[in-house]
Every structure is written in structure tokens, then in C-alpha cells.
Structure 1
């Protein structure tokens, strides 16, 4: 694993479990749309016949909307985002949520981020397309943009985009935190956003 001394000129965040809380029950959601538990739900729905896919999308978006109504900012999220804003570091969100659910969560949690790419804007993670689109928009090499998330899809998307990945391991059992990140090849592992924030003064961050 690399030492945390890279030069980052941009930071992209996952949303659920990273910047905001989420209580989505994916097991129940998969059962509701008939998706096998070992398959990705969005990929499964994408290959369904049109009418079944429409019904499945409706179930998923309704569940996301309900989840958005109870979302709360994760501890340290606002302080970290304010710090990056003061440093004039561009920030964005790439999420597998629908745009409607993502915008509702961001509004409810008062997150100071305007740039959001959802599954409505491009292929869902672990596809790296949305990450690469932001690198192009910011005119930055992917290697100078960190992607922060809590799931192995986030790590995979970052690796495919050529970006350093930052895994937040708070949701993992204590003994699994480091192992999970190393198993999936995370560039850096922090327990939570507060730990990441504490590490930032030692990083050269510049616009």
C-alpha cells in the first residue's frame, strides 16, 4: 500500500455510506425485483425485458427515495468538504443512486457539492466512465484525483480510471477493516472521514 503523500488536485466522493448514511436493505431489494443475491442489482435489471425492467426500476427508485428521507450527513463530512472548499480543491460525487435520490440526500444533508454524476448520467460503478468524465471536465490527470468510497465497487472504479482510491472502513467489522481494503487493492484505508481529514494537512493539496 502506498504512503499517503500524493499530490491531489481534485477529490471525488461516493455518496451512500461515505458522505451520507443509508439504511437501504439490498437483500430485501434484490428479493423484491427477483435478483439473485450474488448478482449486482443494477446489472440484473438492465438485462430484464422492458416491462419487468420498468417495474424493477420503480421499486428501486421508491426505495431510494424513502432512504433519502432519513439520510444524515456522516460524521466529519461537512468539516472535510468545507476544508476542501477553502483549499479550492474541486469536489464532486459519483453515485449509483438515481439523480433524484442523490439530489434529495445532498439537499437534506446540506452538503456543499454541486457536481453530481448518478446512474442516470452514465454507466454505474464499477464502470469508470463517470470518474473519467470528471477528470476531463477538470482537465486533470486521473492520477491527481482521489476517489473516496466505502465499497469494493468504488475501489474497482478508481483503479479502472487510474485514480488513487481511498477506502473508508468504518462499516466493516474491526478485524476486517484493513483486510477488506488490501484484498480489493485500495490505495489508502481510513476508518472514517474524520481520520481522512486529519491526514490531509500532511498531503500537498493545491488547486
Structure 2
């Protein structure tokens, strides 16, 4: 389906890795320490891709304009730093997919809105990312997704024209960013989806129900 592809770029949380267990536990700890009942992981999972905004929204019904949001966000960050890879794992099929991309002589990288405060240590600690040729975090450029700047920076790091890259993500902003960057886009429907599982209106060039489905699109 995709011709002359030289690289595949991926979103991180909800696309390559399932980080919801650690993100949820980090914010749920804040609830229990305040005498509030624990919430199940299923309550946190759909919003795991939205970081602190999503987790604090689920745990406390708090939006970023709340006066206490900055303080609770930093508490959440500290909790998460202590357990970033404790229960986080690659989605089934992702290690095999990445190995196959390398075998096809395709470069790959990560473009995430997760700040480098977390993205750097996490990708260094997990062997999954040893063959990644570009790692771009939410604060690596002046703008984060849905702005195209992070995707264009990853293409620059790879030395590949944006139109020769594919971007795979599980949130509508990923598809918007790819379109703005001039990259073909793939919606990962097995991911978190930002709590809105209807992806038909996103405008992605293709959808995949599992990581391995991407290889079919590349053949």
C-alpha cells in the first residue's frame, strides 16, 4: 500500500508500549494516600496517552486550569519516575515488528509528546529501543503534536524526506501531525485512542488492529 518507504516513526504510549499500568499506579497512589478508594486500571487505560492531564482528570476530575493542577502534576511525575518500567511492556507483536523493519533495512524512531524527562530514561532502559535511530520527545522541539515539528525533527535526525516516512499513532493528534508534516499516517486501533474509539473520522491513510498488520501494508 505504501510505496518508497524508508522509515517508520511511532508514537510511544499506546502504540509501541503499554504504559497504562505504571501511569495508572502512579496517580492511583495519590488517591489512596489521600484516603480515596483505588480505581481499576480500566478506568485509567483509555486516557493513558494524555499523560498527567489524562491521569489527573480520571483520578481527581481535575483539568489543567485548576489552581492545584501544577502541584499535583509534579507529584504524579515524581511517582511515575520511580516506577516507569516496573510493569510497562511492549504490546504483543511489537518486538517482532521492529525486528522485521530492521530486517527490511527500514529505519525507525519514536515521536512522542512524553517529555524527555521520562522518554530518555525509559527508552534507554528498555532493550526494545536499542535499534531506534531517532527519539523525539514532547519538549525536543518548540511545539508538540499535533504540530508537525516533532515529526519533521525525527525525519531530519534520520536524514530521510518526510514523505518517505510513515507515522503510526493511536490518537487523532498523531494523524493530524502526520498530515501536517506530509507523512502518510497509520492509526493503531489497538491503542488507547484517547478514549474515543471511533477512528473513522481521523483521516488516517490506513488502520491496523495489531502491530503485525503494519508489515502487510509495507509489502
TM-score using structure 2 length: 0.71
Q: Is the 8 A contact 1:73 1:109 kept in 2?
A: no
Q: 1:14 aligns with which of 4, 8, 11?
A: 11
What are the ranges of 5 or more consecutive residues in structure 2 without an aligned counterpart? 24-43, 48-53
SS of equivalent to 1:166: strand
Does the 8 Å contact 2:111/2:136 carry over to 1? yes
Match of 2:107 among 82, 90, 112: 90
- SS of 2:106 mapped into structure 1: coil
Paired residue for 2:185? Answer: 165
Partner of 1:73: 90
Q: Is 1:61 aligned to 2:81, yes or no?
A: no
> Aligned pair count?
183
Choose the corresponding residue for 1:29, options 37, 49, 56. Answer: 56
Tell me whether 1:193 sits opposite 2:211 in the alignment.
yes
Native 8 Å contact 1:71 1:109 kept in 2 = no
Change (3 A) 1:172 1:100: closer
Q: Which runs of 5+ in 1 are unaligned?
A: 37-43, 203-207
SS of residue paired to 2:167: strand
Q: Report the Cα offset of residue 148 of structure 1.
A: 0.7
